[in-house]
Amino acid sequence: MRPGGRTSRTRAAVFDAAMAELAEKGFAGTGMEKIAARAGVATSTVYRRWGGLTGLLQDLVDEITLDVQLTDAGPLAADLAQIARVILLLNRHPVHRPWMDAVVTAAVHDPAARQVLTRTIRRRIDGTAPIVARAAQRGEIPADTDGDEVIRMLAAPFYYRMYISGEPITDDLPDRVAAAVVAAVQAGTLRRTH
């Protein structure tokens, strides 16, 4: 059943409230009661629908990222730069970034958070690797290129700066990393090994 009418409006109101709460107070200061109050719906409705804060935020983050429309007109460097720019935007997003900070921190010690993060990344790889496959179909790159690994190589330098080196992410990084990854692909260094 697709949500519509009142259900759809509730969903939108709760998401708006959750985004406002997260942006204002960060992950630690955000609770189901406050979100429900801000959205003008009963707390029980929010719990019934999402189970808890983790479920609600997962759904919200999925919606943020699924909203993004990617094109794959080629050449591959342009398509990959586009994906990298989405990573950059998510990194600066007032809801996505606090969510990501919270889940990365929790994932180090909490298997449930680890699972949420791994599943989220898995879905993003699954959603973008077909763009690499189509470049192979166009004959731009070797047919046995490992699309998953291409996406990992593309994404890794952004997360490395965010959570490891702490160095700034400059606006030219998407184009630079995309060009580097395409060169690696074209040289045949990112083929499937199995």
109 forms part of the interface with a second copy (CB under 8 A): yes
Whole-angstrom distance, CA of residue 158 vs CA of residue 146: 20
- By the 10 Å C-beta count (0-12 exposed, 13-18 middle, 19+ buried), 47 is classed as middle
DSSP 42-93: -HHHHHHHHSSHHHHHHHHHHHHHHTPPPP--S-HHHHHHHHHHHHHHHHT-
Neighbours of 190 (CB within 10 A): 23
Whole-angstrom distance, CA of residue 82 vs CA of residue 176: 12
Whole-angstrom distance, CA of residue 148 vs CA of residue 126: 8
Whole-angstrom distance, CA of residue 185 vs CA of residue 47: 46
159 forms part of the interface with a second copy (CB under 8 A): yes
Closer residue to a second copy, CB minimum distance, 67 or 171 = 171
Closer residue to a second copy, CB minimum distance, 41 or 153 = 153
189 forms part of the interface with a second copy (CB under 8 A): yes
Residue 163 beta carbon to a second copy: minimum distance, rounded to whole angstroms: 6
The site string for a second copy over 117-156 (x = CB under 8 A, - otherwise) reads xx--xx--x-----------------------x--xx-xx
166 forms part of the interface with a second copy (CB under 8 A): yes
| Contact residue for a second copy among 1, 67, 164, 171 (CB under 8 A) | 164
Which one of 9-17, 38-46, 63-71, 175-183 is the stretch in contact with a second copy (CB under 8 A)? 175-183
Helices 43-50 and 5-25 pack at an angle, to 10 degrees, of 100
| Contact residue for a second copy among 24, 29, 163, 192 (CB under 8 A) | 163
Residues binding a second copy: number (CB under 8 A): 40
Which one of 16-24, 46-54, 66-74, 161-169 is the stretch in contact with a second copy (CB under 8 A)? 161-169
- Which of 152, 186, 165 shows the shortest CA–CA distance to 84? 152
Q: Which residues bind a second copy (CB under 8 A)?
A: 101, 104-105, 107-109, 114, 117-118, 121-122, 125, 149, 152-153, 155-157, 159-161, 163-167, 172, 176-177, 179-184, 186-187, 189-190, 193
